[in-house]
Structure 1
């Protein structure tokens, strides 16, 4: 009385729906590549080039916001000694250097 009858769906799935599904997966893959993967790999490559180009005497900015001058750096180690002023030096991991500043930036502050 209150329950309606349930009928089976017609047999067979049209082929157009599977092609639409494949097309949407390809579109999502392209969006993922161009919006996420490619920019991230570009940033990693730029940071790697930055790490290879730093040398003693460069003025740098760390990820924590510390400004300093590279006092000592070695190629085989992952650490650099950063001079904050004439008497204060700290050791940081080279990966935490965010940017190399132009010469004289620390003096202008």
Structure 2
């Protein structure tokens, strides 16, 4: 009975040493996640926002829905896209993904 009491009293001291190593391990996991997942995603978002802001009339684009077209007119919140002769659609600026030439370079 006394041995159980001694072991129970010694347990918190051992657990405290392990908690520091656990905190260090969790910090390292967060750092790895930041450099491999969060940082590249924010970099891509900045590049996409810069591309969307630099659009001008006549640029070829691809929307998030997969529609290819040319920029016909640019407004504050949306863009009018010409997808065929006399066929224009209005699309939100945030739905513009990239230039189709980027897709050809990726192949």
TM class, shorter-chain normalised?
A: 0.7 to 0.9
Equivalent pairs, count: 96
- Counterpart in the other structure of 2:69: 68
Alignment of 1:49-88 (within 5 A): 49-74=50-75, 77-88=76-87
- Normalised to the residue count of structure 1, the TM-score between the two structures is 0.76
Distance 1:18 1:67 in 2: 55
Point out the structure with the larger helix share: 2
- Counterpart in the other structure of 1:4: none
Question: Which ranges in structure 1 are unaligned for 5 or more consecutive residues?
Answer: 1-6
- Normalised to the residue count of structure 2, the TM-score between the two structures is 0.78
Q: CA RMSD in A?
A: 2.1
List structure 1 segments (4+ residues) > 3 angstroms apart after TM superposition: none
Distance 1:90 1:18 in 2: 59
8 Å Cα contact 1:59-1:100 kept in structure 2: yes
